[in-house]
């Protein structure tokens, strides 16, 4: 009844997507409370419907506890091994996209495979609080709905607003994961702001501070003036500019000019002359403290140690020498602004230069610039500085300059490097240990080519800024100490503690005073989201408490994630895990490629090519898809209105009729069919749709199988002796299981899906089903008893092949295989103790009978090749059934297989081809080979060939010449093919 009710809701497809999802969420909740095993005795529908198949099974799996590791002890095939992994926690701000769907498809396939192998499996779900992203979204929401900014609330009031948003969005993400069929243990779901997780974050900070690995210092950080916070490297996008470009910047009505190099002069102090410098950021010249030149640059040999006078502040700027200066860049002399440039900051440390901050955290020029610029916005100050330089006749021109502009991915603001006092993690020693773990084999990175990148980045990593000037997140458990009657008010004094009471006690001991004489002020900043997510593999299991989960499932068996997170998340998990637990957080890291659209473009809102997996699963009209994407862009991004128009036009072009309903199984199978450990994946909806057709093929095959079993009421256990065709399909099944074993063990899931697709379509449907149809109909000249026995054998082999294939496909297509397996279950010989396919044993080659008709497959392969090469007709030959059978390769492969099983085969192609056409084709091929041979020989006849060409190159050329000569010899012989094989 629930299924029927759900199917009547198809009209919702054309309604607003938000209304549709609300109804589905409500319906899902109702079904979860009332669901028992779905009734599969109802009539089998004529055609496959994803909506029909996929509704109800997940709720039943979850209610039965099949995804819990506690289920392990109930399985008769259980082994004493565990398999654990955590889902890369998606940001709570948004919904999942196809990149997340790829992660889920791969991880769930591995988890289900291990579970069916009898492993004790724990796959943990979770969400990340995403400090900057979440706070930005909620602030925009409040401004849009109430006209209020964050500062209009108290910190506590604002955080209540964020929690409301989190509860709404977090539920939607978990709903998406369930729709994707993810076999997660929801009883252990973890959110990075949960009380237990917060305890782990605080403990990690305290321990790292106590060991000296966390310290507070003034350092240069990536700063977003729009957010007024430091941000991590992963939240900085590089916008490549080829030259002069006008860009929209938050807080500015007019577009700002970038991609311009400005040159101006500093007058020399005490003598005639000047030093010209070039910069793309002239507004920072108010913070210049020196001029640097290369020590070997002859243009400035006489100026070493001299000074220039700043035209606006009257400061003296020393001329220093440093080999880092590029003599070919600009004028060869560079302005040094330590407080606003990463390179200049390092140079200033080498030369003990002061730092002067002239741009505030809000993007406003500071009082150190002078009254004429104080309070002016930084890019407005840029124009004022250029005008002032012109007035003083110090401006030397400007020109187009290609550059990379750092942009805040959350706010769209231009990043400003600023000098700030922050908390940092010392990474050098932890990075060295992370590199060592890979070199010594304790940590395996898959694919292996990421190992070089891993070593290179970690060997050159700098200290990690973990402070964020936000309200949403883990407030730093550090306290500024103020002592009674203390005269030193400038020097900061800090302590840390698991609570304010502990911090007070630590301060009393550290400064030797009475606890009552101490005033503590907790740092208002929060920790970087990547710090807390770096604890995920062990914090989710209860660390720092020694819980049973931590003892059983840590270290995790594997981490599977996108290759774009190799440094920001994976490396930091390895560093923090080893430091805090004494163990690596996982034994293997499996990286998958990024998902791009069918044109190979990175998915982004501005291109309009971001696809919600639910839109592919359930289908969506163009109107609903456009409406939904525009809503997401409004809430989660900063899309320019013109970019929104471009995005909508792109959607109309790519999906003129919307996205058809494909289903979860088809989407998962399609995602896993790509080679994930290599180049980026260009996913097209048409490929997913072809996998849906494959699902329908499976559906129809099982309908045929059920009809066969029902009509004949035949036993399904394998009956012997088997015919040659039965032995052949069993051999193909054995080979397929073997390919699945190898593919799963090497994490090459695309080889598994390819093997399963090929077996089901080509071996099972195209050949075997067609071959046994006459047998099942009782055709033949033998006795009725003999025909009945043949039907029995064929039916049992068919059931055997289909049921094992469904088990093989279960990790990829959990819904469809469960539905079909349940319908086949009444015909099984088992006692039905495990009533779900997801906890059945995964097929093994050791349990299957192996036959070796390899010669049959080879002859068919050659036959197909010749049929394609010689462009043979598809007509059947007129001949008699004899021990020697001549035919021109007609298209029905079933007939070929039948003949090969029983007859000697001789093939004479002369009567089945157009001789003149074949001679022309062969002549073309011969001329092509002759041309290649001529080119190869010409290389060997060049002057001084032996002396100039390396041995390896000469050897390769000789091999190539030999190959071409052999090819020509082939065409001097008779081009008539003859195949003759005896087969039993």
HSE-CB for 220 with a 13 A CA cutoff: 21
Band of pLDDT at residue 485, cut at 50, 70 and 90: confident
pLDDT for residue 307: 96
CA–CA separation, 882 vs 871, rounded Å? 26
Band of pLDDT at residue 982, cut at 50, 70 and 90: very low
Write down the pTM of the prediction.
Answer: 0.82
State residue 420 phi and psi, 5-degree precision.
-140, 150
Q: What is the pLDDT of residues 213-258, one digit of tens each?
A: 999 999 999 999 999 999 988 788 889 999 999 999 999 999 999 9
Residues comprising the chain, all counted: 984
**DSSP 3-state of 958:** helix
Which structure tokens are listed for 893?
């492969």
**Mean pLDDT along residues 126-135:** 91
- In this structure, of 503-517, 808-822, 838-852, the range with the lowest mean pLDDT score is 838-852
- For the structural domain made of 260-401, what CATH number should be given? 3.90.740.10
On whether the CB atoms of residues 343 and 334 are closer than 8 A, the answer is no
Provide the mean pLDDT of the chain. 84
Q: Please tell me which residue, 873 or 91, carries the higher pLDDT value.
A: 91
How many distinct helices (H) and strands (E) make up the chain?
32, 32
**For residue 202, is pLDDT > 60?**
yes
Band of pLDDT at residue 175, cut at 50, 70 and 90: very high
pLDDT for residue 874: 53
In sequence order, the 6+-apart residues with CB closer than 8 A to the CB of 845 are 734, 737, 738, 741
CATH 3.90.740.10 domain range(s) in the chain: 260-401
In sequence order, the 6+-apart residues with CB closer than 8 A to the CB of 119 are 72, 79, 81, 82, 83
914-983 belongs to CATH 1.10.287: yes
CATH 3.40.50.620 domain range(s) in the chain: 65-153+160-186
pLDDT for residue 68: 96
681-853 belongs to CATH 1.10.730.10: yes
CA–CA separation, 877 vs 888, rounded Å? 7
CA–CA separation, 358 vs 289, rounded Å? 12
Task: State the pairing for strand pair 245-247/556-562.
Answer: unpaired
In sequence order, the 6+-apart residues with CB closer than 8 A to the CB of 51 are 6, 7, 10, 618, 661, 663
Nearest CA-CA partner of 402 in 346, 336, 329 = 329
Task: State the pairing for strand pair 260-267/256-258.
Answer: unpaired
Q: What is the pLDDT of residues 280-326, one digit of tens each?
A: 999 999 999 999 999 999 999 999 999 999 999 999 999 999 999 99
Q: Please tell me which residue, 474 or 8, carries the higher pLDDT value.
A: 474
Q: What is the pLDDT of residues 661-697, one digit of tens each?
A: 999 999 999 999 998 877 788 888 889 999 999 999 9
CATH 1.10.730.10 domain range(s) in the chain: 681-853
Secondary structure percentages of the chain, helix, strand, coil, to 5:
50, 15, 35
Helices assigned H by DSSP within 340-391: 342-351, 378-391
**Where does residue 332 fall: left (phi above 0), alpha (psi -120 to 50 degrees), or beta otherwise?**
left
- For the structural domain made of 65-153+160-186, what CATH number should be given? 3.40.50.620
**For residue 17, is pLDDT > 90?**
no
CA–CA separation, 149 vs 139, rounded Å? 6
CA dihedral 750, 752, 756, 759 (to 10 degrees): 100
Q: What is the pLDDT of residues 426-436, one digit of tens each?
A: 999 999 999 99
Which structure tokens are listed for 279?
């910069």
**For residue 855, is pLDDT > 60?**
no
Q: What is the pLDDT of residues 29-70, one digit of tens each?
A: 444 434 455 666 677 888 999 999 998 999 999 999 999 999
**DSSP 3-state of 293:** strand
On whether the CB atoms of residues 840 and 758 are closer than 8 A, the answer is no
Q: What is the pLDDT of residues 859-905, one digit of tens each?
A: 555 666 666 666 665 554 444 443 333 333 334 455 545 544 544 44
pLDDT for residue 360: 95
**DSSP 3-state of 11:** helix
**Where does residue 222 fall: left (phi above 0), alpha (psi -120 to 50 degrees), or beta otherwise?**
beta
- Residue 810, exposed/middle/buried by CB under 10 A (0-12, 13-18, 19+)? buried
Angle CA 742–745–747, to nearest 5: 105
């Amino acid at each position: 009844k629930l299924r029927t009710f759900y199917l009547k809701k198809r009209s919702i497809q054309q309604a607003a997507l938000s209304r549709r999802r609300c109804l589905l969420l409500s319906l899902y909740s109702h079904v979860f409370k009332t669901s028992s095993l779905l009734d599969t005795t109802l009539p089998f529908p004529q055609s496959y419907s994803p909506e029909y198949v996929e509704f109800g099974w997940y709720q039943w799996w979850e209610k039965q506890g099949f995804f819990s590791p506690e289920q392990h002890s109930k399985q008769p095939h259980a082994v004493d091994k565990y398999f654990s992994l955590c889902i890369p926690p998606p940001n709570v701000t948004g919904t999942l996209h196809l990149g997340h769907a790829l992660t889920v498809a791969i991880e769930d396939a591995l988890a289900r495979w291990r579970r069916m192998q009898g492993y004790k499996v724990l796959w943990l779900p979770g969400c990340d609080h995403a400090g900057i992203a979440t706070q930005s979204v909620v602030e925009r929401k409040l401004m849009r709905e109430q006209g209020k900014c964050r500062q209009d609330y108290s910190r506590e009031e604002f955080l209540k607003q964020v929690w409301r948003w989190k509860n709404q969005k977090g539920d939607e993400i978990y709903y998406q994961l369930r729709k994707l069929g993810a076999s997660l243990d929801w009883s252990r779901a973890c959110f990075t702001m949960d009380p237990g997780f917060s305890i782990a974050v605080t403990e990690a900070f305290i321990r790292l501070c106590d060991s000296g690995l966390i310290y507070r210092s003034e350092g240069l950080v990536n700063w977003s003036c729009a957010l007024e916070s430091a941000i991590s490297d992963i939240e900085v996008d590089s916008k490549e500019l080829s030259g002069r470009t006008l860009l929209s910047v938050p807080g500015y009505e007019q577009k700002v000019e970038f991609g311009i190099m400005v040159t101006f002069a500093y007058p020399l102090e005490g003598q005639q002359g000047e030093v010209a410098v070039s910069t793309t950021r002239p507004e920072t010249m108010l913070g210049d403290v020196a001029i640097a030149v290369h020590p070997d640059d002859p243009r400035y040999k006489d100026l070493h140690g001299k000074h220039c006078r700043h035209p606006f502040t009257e400061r003296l700027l020393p001329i220093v020498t440093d080999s880092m200066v590029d003599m070919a860049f600009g004028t060869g002399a560079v302005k040094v602004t330590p407080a606003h440039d990463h390179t200049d900051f390092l140079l200033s440390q080498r030369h003990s230069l002061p730092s002067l901050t002239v741009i505030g955290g809000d993007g406003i020029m500071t009082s150190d610039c002078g009254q004429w610029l104080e309070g002016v916005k930084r890019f407005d100050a840029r124009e004022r500085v250029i005008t002032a330089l012109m007035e003083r006749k110090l401006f030397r021109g400007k020109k187009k300059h290609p550059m990379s502009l750092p942009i805040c991915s959350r706010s769209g603001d231009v990043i400003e490097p600023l000098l700030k006092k922050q908390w940092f993690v010392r990474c050098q020693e932890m990075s060295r240990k992370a590199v060592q773990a890979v070199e010594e084999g304790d940590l395996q990175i898959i694919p292996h080519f990421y190992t070089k990148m891993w070593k290179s980045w970690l060997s050159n990593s700098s200290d990690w800024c973990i402070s964020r000037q936000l309200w949403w997140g883990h407030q730093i458990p550090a306290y500024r100490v103020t002592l009674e009657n203390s005269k030193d008010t400038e020097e900061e004094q800090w302590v840390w503690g698991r609570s304010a009471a502990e911090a007070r006690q630590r301060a009393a001991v550290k400064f030797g005073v009475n606890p009552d004489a101490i005033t503590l002020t907790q740092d208002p900043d929060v920790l970087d989201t990547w710090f807390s997510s770096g604890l995920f593999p062990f914090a989710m299991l209860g660390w720092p408490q020694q819980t049973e989960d931590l003892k059983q499932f840590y270290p995790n068996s594997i981490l599977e994630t996108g290759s774009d997170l190799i440094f920001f998340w994976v490396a930091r998990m390895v560093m923090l895990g080893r430091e805090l637990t004494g163990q690596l957080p996982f034994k293997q890291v499996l990286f998958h490629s990024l998902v791009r659209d069918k044109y190979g473009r990175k998915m982004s809102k501005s291109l309009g090519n971001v696809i919600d997996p639910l839109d592919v699963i359930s289908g969506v009209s163009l109107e609903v898809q456009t409406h939904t994407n525009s809503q997401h862009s409004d809430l989660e991004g900063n899309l320019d209105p013109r970019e929104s128009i471009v995005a909508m036009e792109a959607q109309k072009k790519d999906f003129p009729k919307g996205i058809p309903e494909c289903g979860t199984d088809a989407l998962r199978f399609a995602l896993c069919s790509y080679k994930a450990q290599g180049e980026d994946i260009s996913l097209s909806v048409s490929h997913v749709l072809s996998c849906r057709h494959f699902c329908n093929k499976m559906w129809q095959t099982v309908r045929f199988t059920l009809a066969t079993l029902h009509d004949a009421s035949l036993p399904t256990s394998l009956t012997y002796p088997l015919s040659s065709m039965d032995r052949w399909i069993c051999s193909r099944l054995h080979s397929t299981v073997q390919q699945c074993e190898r593919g799963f063990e090497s994490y090459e899931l695309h080889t598994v899906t390819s093997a399963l697709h090929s077996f089901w379509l080509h071996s099972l449907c195209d050949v075997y089903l067609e071959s046994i149809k006459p047998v099942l109909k009782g055709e033949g000249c033998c006795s009725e008893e003999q025909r009945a026995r043949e039907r029995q054998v064929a039916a049992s082999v068919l059931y055997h092949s289909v049921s094992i294939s469904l088990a093989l496909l279960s990790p990829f297509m959990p819904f469809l295989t469960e539905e079909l397996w349940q319908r086949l279950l009444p015909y099984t010989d088992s006692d039905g103790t495990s009533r779900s396919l997801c906890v059945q044993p995964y097929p093994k080659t050791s349990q299957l009978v192996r036959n070796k008709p390899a010669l049959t497959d080879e002859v068919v392969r050659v036959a197909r090749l010749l049929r394609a090469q010689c462009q043979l007709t598809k007509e059947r030959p007129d001949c008699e059934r004899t021990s020697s059978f001549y035919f021109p390769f007609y298209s029905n492969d079933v007939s070929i297989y039948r003949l090969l099983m029983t007859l000697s085969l001789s093939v004479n192609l002369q009567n089945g081809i157009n001789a003149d056409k074949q001679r022309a084709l062969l002549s073309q091929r011969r001329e092509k080979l002759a041309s290649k041979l001529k080119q190869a020989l010409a290389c060997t006849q060049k002057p001084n060939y032996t002396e100039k060409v390396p041995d390896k190159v000469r050897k390769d050329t000789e091999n190539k010449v030999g190959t071409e000569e052999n090819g020509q010899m082939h065409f001097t012989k008779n081009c008539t093919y003859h195949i003759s094989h005896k087969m039993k």
